[in-house]
């Protein structure tokens, strides 16, 4: 509960809990007091309590939707900022700062550690890899759509644009330069970085 919470009688229960936790950490509570509070379900670590609450909300969302694909700014009906919390868990995991137990619990409810853009890129890359395995190159017609519904021809052009770190003519959206890892993955399946214009207009002529 919030530190400033008061019960129906006006008692500052939030502050009392905060002070009680501090006394427990310093060893000022008796064993009897500690046992009584434990029987009432007190959570000694407020940080852990917040994590558990957010996790419960995430688990509920997963049960209802089958995934955790909510927006980064998503807030639950109960006011929990679940989107920012989940992004913080992802960042902590990638930095190696999330405990194995918490990581496993999140994975059990569908957590994917890559961001949404990374997942979409990986899905398109897998479609490109299958195309390469079938045809031996990535000379994908611009209008080509993969069996999975991925606009693979358009995606290939955008990878070349990203590699050059320039503007995409078709939508005027500035794209970030391509990472070395992505370039190496595309190199491995025969990407020709100099085919932009020919492939873009392949179906037009």
CA distance 113 to 92: 10
- Residue 114 to residues 14, 93, 100: CA-CA distances in angstroms? 37, 10, 17
Q: From CA 4, how far away is CA 14, in angstroms rounded?
A: 5
Averaged pLDDT of the chain: 82
Q: What is the pLDDT of residue 42?
A: 73
* From 11-15, 64-68, 99-103, 168-172, the region with the lowest mean pLDDT: 168-172
Give the whole-angstrom CA distance, residue 192 versus residue 138: 7
d(CA 14, CA 143) in angstroms, rounded, equals: 60
Beta strands in 96-140 (DSSP E): none
- Does the pLDDT at position 128 exceed 90? yes
Digit-coded pLDDT (tens) for 153-181:
999 999 998 888 744 444 444 556 787 87
Does residue 167 sit in helix, strand or coil?
strand
pLDDT of residue 201: 42
Give domain limits for the chain. Answer: 14-42, 46-108, 116-200
- CA-based radius of gyration for the chain: 26
């Amino acid at each position: 509960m919030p530190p400033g919470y008061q019960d129906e009688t006006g008692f500052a229960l939030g502050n009392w809990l905060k002070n009680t936790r501090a006394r427990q950490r310093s060893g000022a509570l008796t064993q009897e007091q500690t046992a009584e509070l434990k029987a009432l379900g007190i959570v000694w670590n407020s940080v852990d309590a917040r994590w558990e609450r957010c996790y419960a909300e995430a688990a509920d969302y997963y049960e209802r939707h089958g995934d955790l694909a909510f927006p980064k700014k998503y807030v639950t009906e109960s006011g929990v900022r679940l989107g920012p919390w989940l992004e913080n868990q992802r960042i902590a995991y990638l930095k190696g700062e999330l405990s194995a137990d918490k990581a496993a619990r999140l994975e059990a409810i569908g957590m994917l550690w890559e961001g949404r853009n990374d997942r979409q890129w990986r899905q398109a890359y897998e479609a490109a890899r299958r195309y390469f395995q079938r045809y031996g190159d990535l000379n994908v017609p611009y209008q080509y759509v993969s069996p999975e519904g991925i606009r693979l021809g358009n995606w290939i052009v955008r990878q070349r644009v990203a590699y050059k770190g320039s503007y995409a003519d078709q939508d005027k959206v500035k794209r970030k330069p391509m990472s070395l890892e992505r370039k190496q993955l595309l190199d491995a399946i025969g990407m020709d970085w100099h085919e932009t214009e020919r492939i873009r207009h392949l179906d037009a002529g």
